[in-house]
A and B are shown apart, each in its own frame.
Chain A
Amino acid sequence: MKFWQKTYLCVLIVFLITFDLGALALLKKSYKLNEQLDISKGMTEFTSIEKSLSYILRQYTENTGNSDYKAVLSNYAEHYYKNGIRLEIYQADRLIFSNAYQFEGERAEKDGNPYKTVYRKMNDELWLFIGGKMDFNDLKLVISRNSDYLQEYYITLRQYFIKLSSVLSLILSVVLIFLLIHLTAPIRKLNNGVKAISAGAYDQRVKVRGNDEFVELALDFNKMVDAVSNHIEMIKKVSEDKEMFINNLTHELKTPITAIKGYSQFLNHANFNEEERKMAVHYIYEHTARLDSLSGKMMQLLYLKNEQITLEPVHIESLFLYVVNMERHHLVEKQLKIIHECFAEEVYGDQELLKSLLINLVENSIKASSTGGEILLRSYHYQEVVVLEVLDYGRGIPKKDIAKITDAFYVVDRSRSKELGGIGLGLSICNQIAQLHHAKIQIDSKENEYTRVSVYFTTI
């Protein structure tokens, strides 16, 4: 059963019970009051009848000396009978006159002193009996009168209440259903939203207006969905990245394996000449070297992913000198000039990792530069932050590739990069090292003009 249906039924039942109980009490009270009114009217009648009858009988016996006053009684009774009042006269306990219904049973009212009233049902009609002593010869008078109007009144009123209760229930139902449907609308909205979202529509949100508890709930629910969908997005991204990484790695592995396998088979089985033998051996050697470099870089990358480093002050100038010294052969080969400027003297980090970071960046610059070019190594302060920067005036990076350049295995120009011995892991390693130092790498480049890689060490 729905919430609004439950509420509707409960309210209706409570209303009916209270209304009917109230109506019943009112009915009873009203009946009681009417009965009292009826009795007091009866009393007046009784008193007047008793007085006049006692008077007449006394006069009669005094004037005539006749003690047989039955005729007088019947005459008198006749007069009241027309007004619907019946009389019974008892002497002691003996009935001496009656024009009322005769019935068996206790007649408590006749012993009333000064009087007593009893209601009785006679043939389904309500009768009021009033009895008491007369002021004459120890006679007792009982008058009885039809009071059925009390019952009829009661029944009419009860029917009226029943009708009223049905009409009110109907009105209440209509109003209540309208109100409940209106008030529970946010629940249904919330419910629909929850259903849609749990079915997988994580981009949907529940829309509820107002400022009641439902809206609060909806807002909290939306917050929860945000958190959940963010997590899902993150997990998706991670798994996509992982798949991409594995795909790229597979591709990177398959080419040298194909070459090595193919050429060794060729050497083993084919009928080759000296030139072909040299070529095959050269390719086997070259691709073994490629696998070697790949495995080295992979190891470094995996190692970096799990590493915790301790940050120590590193002297930047000696770092630069080390890097320049390491790369001097490559620099001489391409007749490149390297300039280093140290405006910041120290940076906090792991010396070996920082060397590796700079070597990777400088090697990239060497590869990008054309013969006779210039490479600039700089360190400076930028808003309390130490920046290490490598700048070259080489090929540059196309705008669309800058965002992806730090992804593992991403290379801008595959065939050129292969010639230069790159596999697209260098910047990925740099990025990893930067992350360990809580540093940020920013790449700024214009194609065929320059490339500037700046590492911001935010912790210092």
Chain B
Amino acid sequence: MAKILIVDDERAINDLIAVNLKMIGHEYVQLYNGDQIMKTLNETEIDLVILDVMLPGRDGFEIVQDIVKLSVPVIFLTAKNKVSDKVHGLEIGAEDYIVKPFEAVELIARIHVILRRNQKVATEFRLDGTLVELEKHIVTVNGQEIEMTNKEFQLLDFLIQNKNIALSREKIIEETWGFDFYGDTRTVDVHIQKLRKKLNWENRIKTVYKYGYRLEV
């Protein structure tokens, strides 16, 4: 799992990101101002920086240029939602730009995309007797390979990415089937049932009442 540096002077926001990252199994380091960033980056191996723009002392737009030199990807997190600010943020080297207030699922998805792009994401996932090889699209239970459809695998991938976080049926459809899917949300239930059976995860994939599902690790 990746090690992520969170820089935000608001303790509440900083802790919020931290608990969400902890849920899906990432490690993290928390900083509350811009002064310690370079020191931390030099001492610890960091895979990704989540950086607030308005920081006491040096602001995020200034610091990002130094971080990019170390080829560590940066996601900006800010209350500034002007297009010009976004463009500026991306131009000076940030990989992504997230505007407050953000949704945890969205933040995690973007983190995942960037980690994958920078090949810093785990290629396999183990739980109980199940091994999922994410790159190869191979799933084995107790050493025996399980056949899966493409949709089932995408759904599994999405659940693993967001482990310990409840995902609504709508969110699952959006991510796995795409926006233009006109089917019933029951399609999700059917696929979840199949996954539970194939992987022996009846107790791992929890139903969240009236909402969706959560992969508990």
Contact = CB atoms under 8 A, between A and B. Distances in A.
Given A255-B13, A287-B12, A271 B216 contact: yes
Category for how many chain A residues contact B: 20 to 34
B7 to A, nearest CB: 12
A197 B167 CA distance: 62
A263 interface: yes
A243 to B, nearest CB: 11
B9 A414 contact: yes
Contacts of B10: 255, 259, 418
B56 interface: yes
B19 interface: yes
A321 B64 CA distance: 52
B165 A269 contact: yes
Contacts of A287: 12
Interface stretch (B100-108, B121-129, B183-191, B194-202): B100-108
Interface in B61-98: 79-80
A3 B13 CA distance: 72
Given A259-B10, A268-B166, A418-B9, A254 B16 contact: no
Nearest to B32: A415
A250 B103 CA distance: 18
Interface in A261-287: 261-263, 265-266, 268-272, 276, 279-280, 283, 286-287
Given A254-B100, A259-B13, A415-B56, A270 B19 contact: yes
A413 interface: yes
B175 to A, nearest CB: 15
A261 B15 contact: no
Contacts of A272: 19
B12 A286 contact: yes
A251 interface: yes
B15 A279 contact: yes
B104 A265 contact: yes
B100 A269 contact: no
B51 to A, nearest CB: 15
Contacts of A415: 9, 32-33, 56
Interface string B193-217: 0000000000000001001001010
Given A261-B101, A418-B10, A283 B166 contact: no
B30 to A, nearest CB: 13
A418 B101 CA distance: 18
A414 B102 CA distance: 22
Which interface class (under 10, 10 to 19, 20 to 34, 35 or more) fits B? 20 to 34
Nearest to B82: A247
B100 A271 contact: no
Nearest to B15: A279
A255 B104 contact: no
A418 B56 CA distance: 11
A40 interface: no
B141 to A, nearest CB: 23
Contacts of A269: 104, 165-167, 208, 211, 214
A279 B22 CA distance: 14
- From B9, B23, B32, B79, name the one whose CB has the most chain A CB atoms within 10 angstroms: B79
B148 interface: no
B134 interface: no
- A261, A266, A270, A276, most chain B CB atoms within 10 A: A270
Interface string A186-220: 00000000000000000000000000000000000
Contacts of B15: 279, 283
A251 B16 contact: no
B44 to A, nearest CB: 22
A5 B54 CA distance: 65
Contacts of B80: 251
A39 B107 CA distance: 125
A265 B103 contact: yes
Contact of A279 (B9, B19, B100): B19
5 contacts: A251-B54, A255-B13, A258-B79, A262-B16, A271-B164
Given A258-B79, A270-B166, A414-B9, 4 more contacts: A258-B13, A259-B10, A266-B104, A269-B104
Interface of B: 9-10, 12-13, 15-16, 19-20, 23, 32-33, 54, 56, 79-80, 100-104, 164-167, 208, 211, 214, 216
Interface of A: 250-251, 254-259, 261-263, 265-266, 268-272, 276, 279-280, 283, 286-287, 413-415, 418
Across the A-B interface, give the 3 residue pairs with the lowest CB-CB distance, nearest first: A269-B166, A258-B101, A259-B12
